[in-house]
Amino acid sequence: MSKKKKDPVIEDYEKLRDEIVIDKVNEIFRTQPDNYIAALEEIGFEYHEEDDYEEIEERNARPENQNQKDLVAFFEGKDELSDEILHLYFEEYDSESPNLPLIRPFFKKANQNLKSLIVYGLDRYPGRIDLLSDLAFFHEFENILRLLITYYTRACVTQCNLETFTMLAKDFYYSTIPDGYEALYALRELFDPDIEKRKIIDFLIAEMEEGEEADSPVKI
């Protein structure tokens, strides 16, 4: 039985709606880490305690193929860092069902081999958003702010695609603002006023400041 094809207009609407929700949720986790439950409930989410489920899932996770066994061996210090290990990492994340419960605990333990792998990858592929996101996630468990700033800044400077640049700049901001680092203002100093990247940064700053004003209590 064939599936009924969705109306393209409905499909575009659903995609836009999902993207807006994802942006809101990411912003809440970045800007309100100590109050995220209440903030999520304000935008319509119901909170359910899932920590136990996640821990059980991670505790029961086992390598399901040779690639995963090789990655775990590397994280545990049994293999050396190499291009082959890096591409195994890419293959795992690009697979249809990556074994995230197997890998996630190495982030939570701030595994230094995992960190070296992410950095190794960024030295070779400075614009990969997935690696930058992994570095930002690692930062939640070990303070590597200087490293995060270095690699996000380099990615923003070298990125030619303006749509991707915009995404990188926003991710950079949300990944570092909890530490008090103003990434957008720092990026603003790197670009001349008449180039497109500077215009994008100016727009994002104006958008951010407008949001802050809207959230500020009204003075009487």
154, 126 in Cβ contact below 8 A? Answer: yes
Domain assignments of the chain as residue spans, ordered by start = 16-47
30, 175 in Cβ contact below 8 A? Answer: yes
Q: Full-prediction pTM beyond 0.75? A: no
The Cα-based distances of 208 to 36, 59, 127 in angstroms read: 19, 40, 24
What's the pLDDT score for residue 31? 75
Report the chain's mean pLDDT, rounded to a whole number. Answer: 85
What tokens does 15 get? 């995609």
What tokens does 96 get? 């249809």
Give the tens place of pLDDT for each residue, 182-194. Answer: 999 999 999 999 9
What tokens does 219 get? 């003075």
Q: Tokens 């605990």 — which residue?
A: 105
Whether pLDDT at 56 is above 90: no
The larger pLDDT score, comparing residue 5 to residue 122, is at 122
State the angle between helix axes of 8-31 and 162-176 in degrees (0 to 180), rounded to the nearest 10: 30
What tokens does 74 get? 């590397």
Give the tens place of pLDDT for each residue, 30-41. Answer: 677 666 667 766
Alpha carbon distance 86, 202 (integer Å): 36
